[in-house]
């Protein structure tokens, strides 16, 4: 790929791509690759103000269930969107057919022989054009979508459980995801803006059976953006009244911590033969084509004193 700033600027500009794949590798100098999740990677390069072409190369290894490789492009952490010709910068990215990127959104694609040219629409300013949906969650904690994934420490669990408020609500705590969030009734957008949603058709939190819980992947508060980061035997806690229920993530049929199913596969929130909590979210990121499912088996329940 090659890219440049079309007009003179005073400093270099960071150009980043979010790509989905099993892994991303590169030998280009100055190219940064951050793995945000097992299948999501951020590739960043810095465009010089000299108007010279920057040439980089990276290889995306496609995972078997991924159809769309390139999710979005950003300049200075602002989405590349279409505006009028009164622009400050424009961006041209050329990729050889071997890279064969699939692009969506406001990117314009022209295929010429074995060369694919992608021209990103211009950027008029550095401020976002629209305000993202705001979360109505109070006293909660969730990692922002597309953020860097932090490590899990012994203190993480203590801090998350220690800050569960004494408000009578049911709370979901997942240390691996650095997540503490209330559980509300219902799985529609108005409910999911307030936390994660309990499927009323499933067993209620605190009762035997399979408790189904849904959460947004990218829409605020995006509690399940990193759901595929969970590992087998990770702890998932439900705080229900004055009791703490601890569940352990179980392995799927292919020995991973989650599985992918079509939206019509509602049996995943049915009875499993053991007491469980099942977490569901949309996948792949930026799409509702499929569902990512995590099952966790009840280990034990104990008395719990809230903050």
Per-residue pLDDT tens over the stretch 160-205: 999 999 999 999 999 999 999 999 999 999 999 999 999 999 999 9
Name the band, by pLDDT with cuts 50, 70 and 90, for residue 256.
Answer: very high
Q: What percent of the chain is modeled with pLDDT above 90?
A: 49
* pLDDT score for 102: 30
pTM of the model: 0.62
Chain mean pLDDT for the chain: 78
| DSSP single-letter state for residue 154 | H
The domains of the chain, with CATH numbers, are 2-123 (no CATH), 154-303 (2.40.260.10)
**What is the rounded distance in angstroms from the CA atom of residue 119 to the CA atom of residue 14?**
17
**What is the rounded distance in angstroms from the CA atom of residue 92 to the CA atom of residue 70?**
15
Name the band, by pLDDT with cuts 50, 70 and 90, for residue 32.
Answer: confident
Residues 19-31: b if buried by 16+ CB within 10 A, e if exposed: bbbeebebeeeeb
Closest CA to 121 of 76, 92, 73, 81: 81
């Amino acid at each position: 790929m090659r890219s440049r700033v079309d007009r003179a600027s005073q400093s270099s500009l960071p150009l980043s791509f979010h790509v989905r794949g099993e892994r991303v590798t590169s030998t280009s100098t100055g190219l940064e690759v951050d793995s945000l999740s097992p299948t999501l990677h951020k590739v960043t390069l810095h465009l010089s103000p000299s108007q010279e072409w920057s040439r980089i190369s990276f290889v995306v290894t496609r995972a078997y269930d991924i159809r769309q490789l390139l999710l979005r492009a950003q300049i200075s952490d602002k989405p590349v969107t279409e505006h009028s010709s009164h622009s400050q910068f424009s961006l041209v990215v050329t990729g050889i057919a071997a890279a064969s990127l699939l692009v969506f959104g406001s990117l314009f694609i022209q295929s010429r022989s074995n060369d694919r040219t992608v021209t990103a629409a211009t950027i008029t300013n550095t401020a976002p054009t629209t305000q993202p949906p705001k979360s109505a969650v109070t006293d909660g904690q969730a990692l922002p979508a597309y953020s860097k994934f932090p490590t899990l420490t012994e203190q993480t669990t203590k801090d998350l459980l220690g800050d569960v408020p004494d408000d009578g609500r049911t709370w979901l705590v997942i240390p691996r995801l650095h997540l503490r969030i209330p559980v509300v009734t219902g799985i529609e957008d108005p409910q999911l803006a307030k936390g994660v949603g309990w499927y009323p058709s499933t067993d209620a939190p605190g009762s035997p059976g399979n408790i189904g819980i849904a959460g947004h992947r990218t829409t605020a508060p995006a509690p399940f953006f990193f759901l595929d980061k969970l590992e087998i035997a990770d702890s998932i806690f439900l705080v229900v009244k004055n009791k703490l229920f601890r569940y352990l993530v179980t392995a799927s049929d292919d020995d991973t911590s989650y599985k992918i199913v079509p939206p019509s596969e509602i049996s995943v929130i049915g009875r499993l033969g053991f007491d469980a909590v099942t977490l569901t979210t949309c996948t792949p990121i930026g799409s509702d084509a499929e569902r990512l499912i995590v099952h966790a088996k009840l280990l034990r329940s104990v008395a719990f004193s809230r903050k």
